[in-house]
Amino acid sequence: MTDLLTTLVTQAERQTAHRRGVRPDSDVARAAAAAPAPRDFAAALREPGLAVIAEMKPRSPSKGALTDDYRPAERARAYRDGGAHALSVLTHEDGFGGRPEHLSVARAASGLPVLRKDFITDEYQLLEARALGADAVLLIVAALSAQRLTELLARTRELHMEALVETHDAEEVDTALEAGATVIGVNHRDLRDFTLDRTLSARLRPRVGAGRVLVAESGVRGAEDARALAGAGVDAVLVGELLMRSGDPGATIKELMT
């Protein structure tokens, strides 16, 4: 793992240990079993045209604060009204200013499928995600061994959620495919040095193969980038900073889909 990713995973593990101390696995498992049925995250991304996963996060580790007025319910409704196909909600506290309860709020306010975006290494986080109402979770290849990825992906499906499996290069795509991933994300940002390669999704599209959903992550600056990605065979874009900084995020989402 890169230094940044190691830090974020360590923070997430610490936050998870604290929550587990307050609410044991058995309690969370009961809440997960009683949660509303999951919405079909993958199906939402397979709709005609370029799908938009609109991301909610108060700040980022590299850019700092993205808004000084973070209201999850209002933002979720604005994203829905703009035509977003799904939401990505940061629940990581230290690096992104998120909280687990933001996910439940966003899901209830929007009616859309919601991805829990965090640094997941433990089954407790999956149970917690389902208890919160998550329809999907993020699993990052670079943060997990191949065996651990396979285990967590299987447990995700046992809980009837989808997984967005994030990759950054051809080797990681192969690892995701071997684990059985069907929704694969390509992060254009290299977490080692923060450089962006917006051509990465297009170059990895053939390796991902037909029949799987390809999600381009990071660095989408507007409609021109979105059109280029759609033309390269990308099924969906995950967009965060652009929307968080937009004065009219609903209108920005519409522009991305034109």
- Active site residues per annotation: 55, 57, 117, 166, 187, 217-218
Cα–Cα–Cα angle for 19, 136, 101, rounded to 5 degrees = 35
HEC-encoded secondary structure of 66-121? CCCCCCHHHHHHHHHHHCCCEEEEECCHHHHCCCHHHHHHHHHHHCCCEEEECCCC
Distance, in Å, from the CA atom of 60 to the CA atom of 57, rounded to the nearest integer, reads 7
Contact predicate 34/155, CB 8 Å: no
Instruction: State which amino acid sits at residue 9.
Output: V
Q: Burial, 123: exposed, middle or buried (Cβ in 10 Å; 0-12, 13-18, 19+)? A: middle
Nearest CA among 172, 134, 174, 145 for reference residue 36: 134
**Single-letter residue type at 87:** L
Dihedral sign, Cα of residue 9, residue 99, residue 96, residue 139:
positive
Six token digits for residue 3: 């230094």
